Amino acid sequence: MAPLFSAPSARRGMNLGNALDAPADAAHALAPRERYLDAIRDAGFDTVRLPVAWSAHAAPTAPYTVRRAFAERVDRAVDAALARGLTTIVNVHHYHELHEDPEAHAERFLALWRQIAPRYADRDPALLHFELLNEPRAALTPERWNVLLARALAVVRESNPDRTVLVGPAEMNDLRALPRLELPDDDHLTATIHYYAPFPFTHQGAHWVEGSAPWLGTSWGADADRGDADRVAAERAAVSDDLAEAAAWAKAHGVPLFLGEFGAYERADLDSRARWTAHVRREAERLGIGWAYWEFGTDFGAFDPATDTWREPLRRALVPDGR
C-alpha cells in the first residue's frame, strides 16, 4: 500500500497532552517545558501534537475573545516546537459544551478558529498543521459534525489556504465512524482517528471510566504457555484488522490518514503496554499511517518528568531505532 503519511515530516509523533488542554490547577497538569520538546526530538520523534483547550480561555459571549495571556502561552509552545524542526499539530481540545449542545456553541467554535487560524497564518504550512476538533461526540452527531466541520474549514481557508488540516469522524474519532465522515473537496485535508482497543486493556482502572476497576490485571500479548498462543495471535490480528480497515477507507477516499492518539493507561502492566504500543506502531507504519502516541508525561506517559527520563520499554516500542 502506498504511504498515507500526512506529510513527509509527520510520521512519528508524541502528544504533549494534559498541558495546554488541562486546567491550571489539575493534579496531573504538565507544563509544556522546552526541555520536553528537546527530549521528544532527541528520542527520534519528528512530530508533536499540542492539544489546546481554547474554549476554556475564551469569553462566553461574542466575539468570544481568547484571553491574551493564554494565546501567548500557546504561541510560545508552538514556536518552540517549530524551532526544533518538529511538525506541530494544534487542535481545539476538550470543548465539552460543543459536544453536548452544538447548536448553542457552533458560532463560538467558529469564532475560535477565526482567531486561531490568522494567528498562525505566517507559520510554515509544511510544519504547522491544524486539527479542527478533538473527538466530536454526543449530540455532535456525524450529520451535525459534517456540516460544522465544513463551516470551520471554510473559516480556516480564509487565512490559511494551503495548510494541512486534520479532520476526524464523530463518535470520538473512532475508526468505525469513518464511513459516516463527509470530507469537503480540499487538497490539504488529512483524516485522523484515535485507537484504544481493546478498551478494557488500555483503560483498566481509569478513574474517569465507570466500571473500569474490574479490568485491572488485564494483560495483552503475553505468551504464558503454549496454550496462550491462539489468544495472543487473535489479539494481534484484531489490532491489525482494525488499522487495515481504516487504511482501506483512507485509500478509497484518496486522503492521508493520521493516527492522532493511541496509548495504554499507567495501571496496565508495563510489559503489556509496551507490547501493545509496539504492535500498533508497527502496523500503522506498515500501512503507511503517521501516528502520535498519547501521551508524553502524565498518566499514559512514555516519559517520567520526575526523573527526566524515558520509560524505556515504551520509548523502544515507539522509536526502536532512535531515528
Give, as one character, the DSSP assignment of residue 56.
Answer: G
- Residues 151-186 have pLDDT tens digits of 999 999 999 999 999 999 999 999 999 999 999 999
Q: Which residues form the catalytic set?
A: 135, 261
Q: Look up residue 93 and give its three cell numbers.
A: 481540545
Q: Residues with Cβ < 8 Å from 267, sequence gap 6 or more? A: 204, 205, 206, 216
Task: List the CATH number of the domain containing 180.
Answer: 3.20.20.80
Q: Residues with Cβ < 8 Å from 289, sequence gap 6 or more? A: 4, 5, 243, 246, 247, 250, 257, 258, 259
- What is the domain count for the chain? 1
Closest CA to 293 of 39, 49, 44: 49
Q: Is residue 3 part of a domain?
A: no
pLDDT for res 24: 63
- Are the C-beta atoms of residues 242 and 196 closer than 8 Å to each other? no
- Which domain covers residue 219, as residue numbers? 12-318
Closest CA to 283 of 242, 229, 228: 242
Sign of CA dihedral 73, 76, 82, 85: negative
Dist CA 271 CA 275 (whole Å): 6
Q: Is residue 1 part of a domain?
A: no
Q: Is residue 147 part of a domain?
A: yes
Closest CA to 202 of 244, 242, 243, 262: 262
Residue 196 CA to its chain's centroid (Å): 11
Q: Is residue 4 part of a domain?
A: no
Q: Is residue 278 part of a domain?
A: yes
Inter-helix orientation angle 68-83/102-119, to 10°: 50
C-alpha to C-alpha distances, 213 to 28, 195, 210, 312, nearest whole angstrom: 20, 21, 8, 27
Q: Is residue 150 part of a domain?
A: yes
- Report mean pLDDT in 10-residue bins for the chain, 323 residues: 48 96 76 93 98 98 98 98 98 98 98 98 97 98 98 98 98 98 98 98 97 97 77 96 98 97 98 98 97 97 97 98 65
Q: Residues with Cβ < 8 Å from 259, sequence gap 6 or more? A: 192, 193, 194, 195, 243, 280, 284, 289, 290, 291, 292
**pTM of the model as a whole:** 0.95
Q: Is residue 7 part of a domain?
A: no
Q: Is residue 323 part of a domain?
A: no
